[in-house]
């Protein structure tokens, strides 16, 4: 009863920010439908992936988990138990486990480390327990750990449904990774852990006067985005993604207390992206809950864009990514 899964993070093209007001807020149901692509890194020293091994066995007298060498306890352990206990109960098992996980990128820096972490954990656990569950159902379980994790189970472009029930709030694939020719260059300006996690930030969204407007506008943008992806319309995808990202950050900045995830380097990159666009290099920015910026571009522009961004003060690392593979099982275990 041992399994290992590998999963990658994703970047939201239509963001979710805030949870639906359902009877149990622990269900982690997004306030609005949202869209992402699962990103595969094009460099070997930072694959933006999580590898997780889980082993259920009578030899263990208690549950234990370790992430990047740190033994989990308290809230961190409870968070992974939300996912594992649902699957344990589905398998009618009460066997204890040992879990070990490795992330090859900074956690909680707005790079969606919780997305790859909970996607890998969900797939590995379901497999170790011998459960036969399809990806859509698995995505509802991953969502209990982190909303964005529901999307990382799938390859390519993904649609995540908001709903009033656990079963209906699932993520499904829109199309394969190669369907829409688009890459991104991630400009890392700060790798440290953010002070307010997205988990805590979601609860502040309702306090912003712009929250309702964002939700209304996102409902339209999510339809436009789906269409633009299916029509491989890079310009439309980029324009809508950038507009939607600005709405989310406007809500963050006007919640109570306000959340300013950007720093001066973030703004410098935003301005550079806008000026490159004016000069004819078509690129658009999108930013999650952190200061790092994803610059969307056409595959043939990755190299030029990387050179332009590298020249900016404060840019620490550049990671080219493309839409790619979701979570999958691996034969080699971590222990």
Q: Which of 66, 172, 191, 199 binds ligand PMV (CB under 6 A)?
A: 199
Binding to ligand PMV in span 112-141, by CB under 6 A: 112, 114-115
Choose one: 12-20, 165-173, 219-227, 229-237; the region binding ligand PMV (CB under 6 A). 12-20
Q: Which is nearer to ligand PMV, 32 or 127 (CB)?
A: 32
Distances (CA, A) of 201 to 10, 197, 214, 216, 263: 19, 6, 16, 20, 17
Containing 7, the helix (H) or strand (E) segment is strand 2-8
For residue 98, the minimal CB distance to ligand PMV (Å) is 25
Coil, helix or strand for 293? strand
- Rule CB under 6 A: say whether 147 interacts with ligand PMV: yes
Q: Which is nearer to ligand PMV, 41 or 152 (CB)?
A: 152
For residue 287, the minimal CB distance to ligand PMV (Å) is 8
For residue 315, the minimal CB distance to ligand PMV (Å) is 21
Q: Which is nearer to ligand PMV, 215 or 276 (CB)?
A: 215
Under DSSP, the state recorded for 67 is E
CA–CA dist 235, 304 (Å, integer): 18
- Rule CB under 6 A: say whether 288 interacts with ligand PMV: yes
Q: What is the DSSP string of 8-60?
A: E-EEEEE---SB---S-GGG--BSS-EEEEEEEESSTT---EEEEEEEE-TT-
- Rule CB under 6 A: say whether 289 interacts with ligand PMV: yes
Q: What is the DSSP string of 236-285?
A: HHHHHHHHHHHHHHHHHHTSSS------HHHHHHHHHHHHHHHTT--EEE
- Rule CB under 6 A: say whether 148 interacts with ligand PMV: yes
Choose one: 11-19, 96-104, 130-138, 212-220; the region binding ligand PMV (CB under 6 A). 11-19
Q: Which is nearer to ligand PMV, 128 or 149 (CB)?
A: 149
* Residues of the shown chain interacting with ligand PMV in the complex, contacts defined by CB under 6 A: 12, 15-17, 34, 112, 114-115, 146-148, 198-199, 288-289
């Amino acid at each position: 009863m041992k399994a290992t899964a590998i999963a990658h993070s994703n970047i939201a093209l239509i963001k979710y920010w805030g949870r639906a007001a359902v009877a149990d807020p622990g269900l982690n149901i997004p306030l609005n439908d949202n869209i992402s692509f699962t990103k595969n890194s094009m460099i070997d020293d930072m694959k933006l992936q999580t590898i997780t091994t889980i082993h259920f066995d009578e030899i263990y007298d208690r549950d234990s988990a370790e992430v990047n060498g740190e033994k989990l306890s308290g809230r961190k352990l409870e968070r992974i138990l939300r996912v594992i206990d649902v699957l344990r109960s589905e398998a009618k098992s009460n066997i204890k486990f040992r879990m070990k996980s490795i992330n090859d990128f900074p956690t909680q820096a707005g790079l969606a480390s919780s997305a790859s972490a909970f996607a890998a954990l969900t797939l590995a656990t379901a497999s170790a327990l011998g459960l036969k569950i399809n990806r859509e159902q698995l995505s509802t379980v991953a969502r209990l750990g982190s909303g964005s994790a529901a999307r990382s189970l799938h390859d390519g472009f993904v649609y995540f449904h908001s709903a009033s029930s656990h079963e209906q709030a699932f993520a499904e694939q829109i199309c394969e990774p190669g369907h829409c020719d688009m890459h991104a260059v991630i400009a890392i300006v700060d790798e440290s852990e953010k002070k307010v996690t997205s988990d805590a930030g979601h609860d502040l969204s309702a306090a912003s006067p712009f929250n309702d407007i964002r939700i209304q506008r996102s409902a339209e943008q999510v339809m436009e985005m789906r269409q633009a992806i299916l029509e491989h319309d890079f310009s439309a995808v980029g324009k809508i993604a950038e507009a939607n990202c600005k709405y989310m950050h406007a809500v963050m900045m006007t919640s109570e207390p306000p959340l300013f995830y950007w720093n001066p380097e973030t703004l410098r990159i935003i301005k550079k992206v806008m000026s490159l666009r004016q000069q004819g290099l078509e690129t658009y920015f999108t930013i999650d809950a952190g200061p790092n910026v994803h610059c969307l571009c056409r595959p043939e522009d990755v190299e030029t864009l990387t050179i332009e961004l590298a020249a900016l003060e404060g840019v620490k690392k550049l990671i080219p990514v493309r839409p790619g593979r979701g979570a999958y099982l691996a034969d080699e275990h971590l222990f």
